[in-house]
Structure 1
Amino acid sequence: MINVGYARMMARYNSWQNDQLIPLFLDMSQADLTKDRGAFFGSILSTANHILAADMLWLSRYDPSMESPIESFDKWLMLHKDARDWAADRQRVDGKISHWANSLREVDLLGDLHCVPAGGGPAYDLPKGQGVLQLFNHQTHHRGQIHAMLTAAGQSAPVTDIAFLPETA
Structure 2
Amino acid sequence: MISPAYCVMMAQYNSWQNRCMRQAMEQLDEADLTADRGAFFKSILGIANHLLWADRMWMSRLGDTVEKPDVAASGSTAITPTSAVWSAERFRLDGQMELWAEGLHAIDLTGNLRWYSGALGRDTARPVALCVAHMFNHQTHHRGQIHAMLTAAGARTADTDLFIMPGLE
Structure 1 stretch displaced more, 92-101 or 119-128: 119-128
Structure 1 stretch displaced more, 113-122 or 24-33: 113-122
1:3-152 → structure 2 map (5 Å cutoff): 3-119=3-119, 121-152=121-152
2:164 is matched with which residue? 164
CA distance in 2, matches of 1:35, 1:157: 18
TM-score normalized by the length of structure 2: 0.95
- Structure 1, unpaired ranges of 5+: none
Q: Which stretches of structure 1, 4 residues or longer, exceed 6 Å deviation after superposition?
A: none
Structure 1 stretch displaced more, 117-126 or 133-142: 117-126
Structure 1 residues 65 and 155: CA distance shift in structure 2, 3 A: closer
Structure 1 stretch displaced more, 100-109 or 71-80: 71-80
SS of the residue corresponding to residue 26 of structure 2 reads helix
State the shift of 1:120 in Å. Answer: 6.0
CA distance in 2, matches of 1:119, 1:78: 18
Identity of aligned residues (%): 44
Matched length: 169
- Structure 2, unpaired ranges of 5+: none
Structure 1 stretch displaced more, 71-80 or 21-30: 21-30
CA distance in 1, matches of 2:42, 2:71: 20
SS of the residue corresponding to residue 56 of structure 1 reads helix
TM-score normalized by the length of structure 1: 0.95
State the shift of 1:166 in Å. Answer: 0.8
Indicate if the aligned counterparts of 1:114 and 1:123 stay in contact, CA closer than 8 A.
Answer: yes
CA distance in 2, matches of 1:118, 1:98: 26
CA distance in 2, matches of 1:56, 1:22: 18
State the shift of 1:126 in Å. Answer: 0.7
CA distance in 1, matches of 2:12, 2:124: 29
State the shift of 1:119 in Å. Answer: 4.3
Indicate if the aligned counterparts of 2:48 and 2:146 stay in contact, CA closer than 8 A.
Answer: yes
Structure 1 stretch displaced more, 45-54 or 120-129: 120-129
- The code of the aligned residue for 2:59 comes to L
CA distance in 1, matches of 2:66, 2:89: 14
SS of the residue corresponding to residue 117 of structure 2 reads coil
CA distance in 2, matches of 1:120, 1:4: 28
